[in-house]
Structure 1
Amino acid sequence: MKQSLALYLMTGAAALSLAACGDNATTDTPVADTTATTGAMMDNAAAPATTAETTGMTADAHTTQFLTDAMKGDNSEVRVGKLAAQKGATQGVKDFGTMLVNDHGAHMDKVATLAKSMNVPVTQETKAEADEVYKRLQGLSGAEFDKAFVDAMVKDHKKDIAAYQEEAKSSDPAPVTGLAEQTVPTLQKHLDTAEKLQKSS
């Protein structure tokens, strides 16, 4: 009787032990599978966001040319503006020079930012015709300098306004045509100022 009871207890203990081992084996497997699945889902979810962040517009030849010319124009206006602020014989010319430096400097920042976003190289170059004007102005002084500077700015800004108005109506990307349209009033302000100085000289 005692032997039968001892055998019964040993058999029960072995059964409980096997059951416990079976539970542990069952619990471990899903945890590993769930972790792997979750990691894969996170990787897949992150992929589209990364792709979207690195995708940007690329400028065609026409857009590239406009942005490059715009940067060169701004660089030219800033340089000649600094010269006028230093060499101007009248306060009006000096103030106009400072206006050009400030306005075209700020515009250059906007154009450069847009150019970078469209994979267009930012340039520090100036326009060839502007270089000629700058070189001529360097050799002048007094009233002669003021007249030559103002005349050049009237001619230059008329050309700029026409170019920006044409760009605003083009089929280039909206950020470019929008910037062109927003720039026209500033260019018109510069032309108005130059024409007033021209009449008063």
Structure 2
Amino acid sequence: MTRLMIMAGSIFLCAALSSCGNSATRNDEQKDTTDSVLSDAGTVDPVALDREKGDTSFVLHAASSGMAEVNLANLALRQSANAEVKAFAEKMIADHGAANKKLQQLAAHHQIVLPESLAEKHKKIYDDLSSRKAAEFDLAYANVMVESHREALALMKTGAESLEHEDLKQYAKQTTPVISKHLEHAQELQRSVR
């Protein structure tokens, strides 16, 4: 059952998230987990993910997602004139910034090297949003926030039930309600900027 939950949640999430771009290995010479669980098409290889037990994959995907949230929020502060969008962006910077710091500590404890730059998928989203202005930006940003928080929520729920290491499970459990609130807020924002 645990394997099935890991595979199902990760397949859903990784359809939207891509590899983190740079080498993410454990210090004990373990192979690059990001490359090993993603197929050439950028989707999850369930057999490889099962082999990795999901913990490293979870950390890498959560780190990539969290980094993207902060970068996109900073962009929103520069691009938007909408007070609601700016308030939402400030909340993303505060909450995801705190979650990212905690995840960095956990990654260091488990000897997982986190990405230093945005994953290709997130870079494309950032570049697309950078080219938009005013109301067009606001709606596109709100749409991205709804989708990214749906994905993050699925990742956290799966992690809370399926991760091997208890500290990572606790991180996922503690982060789940925060992400759920973000999703609700993003959906409200999406409705208000339409």
TM-score (norm 2): 0.70
* Structure 2 equivalent of residue 85 of structure 1: 77
- Aligned partner letter, 1:144: E
- Aligned partner letter, 2:176: V
Structure 2 alignment gaps of length 5 or more: 1-29, 34-50
Which is worse superposed, 97-106 or 146-155? Answer: 97-106
Bigger radius of gyration among the two: 1
Q: Give the share of equivalent positions with the same residue, in percent.
A: 29
Aligned-residue Cα RMSD (Å) equals 1.8
For residue 168 of structure 1, the aligned residue among 129, 149, 160 is 160
CA deviations over 1:117-161 (Å, ceiling 9, x no partner): 111113223232221111111000000000000011101111110
Conserved 8 A contact 2:157-2:172: yes
Question: Cα distance 1:189–1:171, how it changes in 2: closer, same or farther (>3 A)?
Answer: closer
For residue 131 of structure 2, the aligned residue among 115, 118, 139 is 139
- Aligned partner letter, 1:138: S
1:171 CA drift (Å):
4.1
Structure 1 alignment gaps of length 5 or more: 1-57
- Aligned partner letter, 1:75: M
* Structure 1 equivalent of residue 65 of structure 2: 73
For residue 125 of structure 1, the aligned residue among 112, 117, 129 is 117
- Aligned partner letter, 1:198: Q
Quick check: which one's helix share is greater? 1
For residue 186 of structure 1, the aligned residue among 168, 178, 188 is 178
* Structure 1 equivalent of residue 102 of structure 2: 110
* Structure 2 equivalent of residue 98 of structure 1: 90
TM-score (norm 1): 0.68
CA deviations over 1:143-187 (Å, ceiling 9, x no partner): 000000001110111111011101111041110111001101111
- Aligned partner letter, 1:174: E
